[in-house]
A and B are shown apart, each in its own frame.
Chain A
């Protein structure tokens, strides 16, 4: 019987690293549905969760999977699911419920080529805007984008911590190549892994109001079975959790939900930079594409072009301030991604004319070739 945290150095599959990251973060419940290229996450969880006293269930579909992880989280168990494009679409409904009810949970999307059934076995980065806006209504979202199996492990832990900290569903937007890649993954000692637990109510159950936020905008979360008589609903509600269908109730509720993440954006936002200090061409990229962009920047530097790489580790919230800063005086911003232009839209919005922004489209289904990005760097540097 293996322990919860597999401390040591491994040669590990990205999808397995996702599962191990979840376990290291304290995940005790996984509900999922088989889908390429995310199936291996579920397979790993099916083998590992019983070993650590956790529950694994293969649901009838992704709507059920998402609903089940929210239910388990309400029972006090850290919960996650994993999926890919078509399943991610089906989960949007209850991602919204999780945001509205403020239930911590982690959803991993190993992105494949779309739309529709698209290319189940081949890479895509076409769900980045769906990650932000996929469920109906306005709601906060946090999304990480790992670029390696090591990051699959690390960022799933961060995702759990953010979900627990901010009481909201958190996304991990990996892609097929990262998910199916086998690389070195170093798993630290259990005591070295920082794990966050949700804030629980301290007062008497009789005084507990499920949506009464504290100064930090986050209401403590009571779990089922502890006598708090939790009242939760997907309807617009007041502090007591009572349905309140009015603009007067919707306004403050939505503002708090959105502020709950935006007020902490500087704590949540993560990125990595390479050679950006003196760069006048900035390449902004994420996931597998960032590794090819890294090579393009390296080659550009050899040609004497002052290029730099800005790698998104969180796509949402977007690192607005730093990207705006980098755009001041830059010759241009290049955004390579495996889609027909998604995160480039956010870069354009943020840069807002301070520098030219150019997207580089990699057709879904191919490993991005550094040449296309290098070509774009050369053009912009002229």
Chain B
């Protein structure tokens, strides 16, 4: 095979993945690969320097995302990736730190870290891959499972109210809040790129199919049928009422088999944790030294 033919055979994002880890462990029909690709493409689009890309994940299917990315990657404990990422970011403000994790990791066991990092406006990007269940452990109900959904721990249907994640994020203080599905690959990429460039705590929820853990017990069927269900809501969106830029996040609740509201829910400016830290009276004069690199450039 000549060099050119070999070059053609390379996957366009191969350089950004650790090919020694492939094939990945995710099930056929899972949406995590789409999120991974959207993140990689967003890094390029946002022109984040290669050496400054850091990804942190927790435990679960989404937790494995960190290990597949060919950049500084930390696969931490269940629920703690945001706290770990907080240390990384405060330790070196030049890093562009993204947390990719699941709904159970970020909002059940890790819920407290999420709301407090948002409140403090730590300069982190959080991408929550929401598949409505704990996939890795075999499809148990979680904090985002819609009411009446069947899971392995809700055999008669889920009787708990789920979180409305965009509402939670916006009211906790996130400066950028969006929700997409894995069918919105390009919008997702652009949205992640916007989040990567934005200073402060950003949050993107990605609704992802889980044919194994969620699709099957709820008789949505195989991956392709769950995709079709999203596709149908996508068709409806073409009637331009489901995608709502600047929609009230309070209206973003998710119900089983109902249309899912997607879009950018919040985009605001708020000083970050580090902005306020270096404004403390005795250390004010050190502020310039500790500001982010891009901010320093702007000042100059």
Q: Which of A63, A70, A227, A228 interacts with B87 by CB under 8 Å?
A: A70
**Chain B interface: which of A3-11, A230-238, A285-293, A369-377?**
A230-238
Contact (Cβ within 8 A) A31 B87:
yes
Contact (Cβ within 8 A) B91 A55:
yes
Task: Output the least CB separation between B238 and chain A (Å).
Answer: 41
Which B residue's beta carbon lies closest to that of A231?
B73
Bound CA span A230–B64, Å = 15
Contact (Cβ within 8 A) B91 A29:
yes
Residues of B within 8 A of A93 (CB): 77, 80
Bound CA span A234–B77, Å = 7
Residues of A within 8 A of B54 (CB): 224-225
User: How does the 8 Å CB contact mask read for B27-57 relative to A, with 1 for contact and 0 for none?
Assistant: 0000000000000000000000011101010
Contact (Cβ within 8 A) A61 B112:
yes
Does B290 sit within 8 A of A, measured CB to CB?
yes
Residues of B within 8 A of A233 (CB): 66-67, 74-75
Residues of A within 8 A of B283 (CB): 50-51
Bound CA span A168–B95, Å = 24
Bound CA span A187–B86, Å = 32
Bound CA span A238–B102, Å = 25
Does B21 sit within 8 A of A, measured CB to CB?
yes
Residues of A within 8 A of B74 (CB): 71, 74, 101, 224, 230, 232-233
Task: Output the least CB separation between A240 and chain B (Å).
Answer: 7
Contact (Cβ within 8 A) A225 B51:
yes
Residues of A within 8 A of B80 (CB): 63-64, 67, 93-94, 97
Residues of B within 8 A of A67 (CB): 76-77, 80, 83-84, 86-87, 113
Bound CA span A59–B110, Å = 13
Bound CA span A38–B93, Å = 28
- Most B C-beta atoms less than 10 A away, residue of A70, A235, A243: A70
Contact (Cβ within 8 A) B75 A232:
yes
Contact (Cβ within 8 A) A226 B116:
no
**Chain B interface: which of A75-83, A117-125, A266-274?**
A75-83
How big is the A interface, by class?
35 or more
Bound CA span A349–B50, Å = 53
Contact (Cβ within 8 A) B76 A97:
yes
5 CB contacts below 8 A, A to B, read: A67-B87, A71-B91, A225-B95, A231-B18, A235-B75
Q: A29-B91, A64-B112 are in contact. Are A53 and B76 (CB under 8 A)?
A: no
Residues of A within 8 A of B66 (CB): 233
Residues of chain B whose beta carbon lies under 8 Å from any beta carbon of chain A: 18, 20-21, 50-52, 54, 56, 64, 66-67, 70-77, 79-80, 83-92, 94-95, 112-113, 116, 120, 273, 277, 280, 282-283, 286, 289-290
Residues of B within 8 A of A101 (CB): 74
Bound CA span A86–B54, Å = 32
Task: Output the least CB separation between A233 and chain B (Å).
Answer: 4
Contact (Cβ within 8 A) B51 A71:
no
Task: Output the least CB separation between B271 and chain A (Å).
Answer: 15
Which B residue's beta carbon lies closest to that of A50?
B283
Q: A50-B277, A232-B75, A233-B75 are in contact. Are A79 and B87 (CB under 8 A)?
A: yes
Residues of A within 8 A of B277 (CB): 50, 55
Does A255 sit within 8 A of B, measured CB to CB?
no
Does A242 sit within 8 A of B, measured CB to CB?
yes
Contact (Cβ within 8 A) B280 A50:
yes
User: How does the 8 Å CB contact mask read for A201-215 relative to B, with 1 for contact and 0 for none?
Assistant: 000000000000000
Residues of B within 8 A of A75 (CB): 87-92, 95
Which B residue's beta carbon lies closest to that of A222?
B72
Contact (Cβ within 8 A) A242 B21:
yes
Bound CA span A185–B50, Å = 47
Contact (Cβ within 8 A) B87 A53:
no
Which B residue's beta carbon lies closest to that of A97?
B77
Residues of B within 8 A of A29 (CB): 87, 90-91
Which B residue's beta carbon lies closest to that of A65?
B83
Residues of A within 8 A of B289 (CB): 53
Bound CA span A86–B58, Å = 24
Residues of A within 8 A of B18 (CB): 231, 242
Contact (Cβ within 8 A) B92 A225:
yes
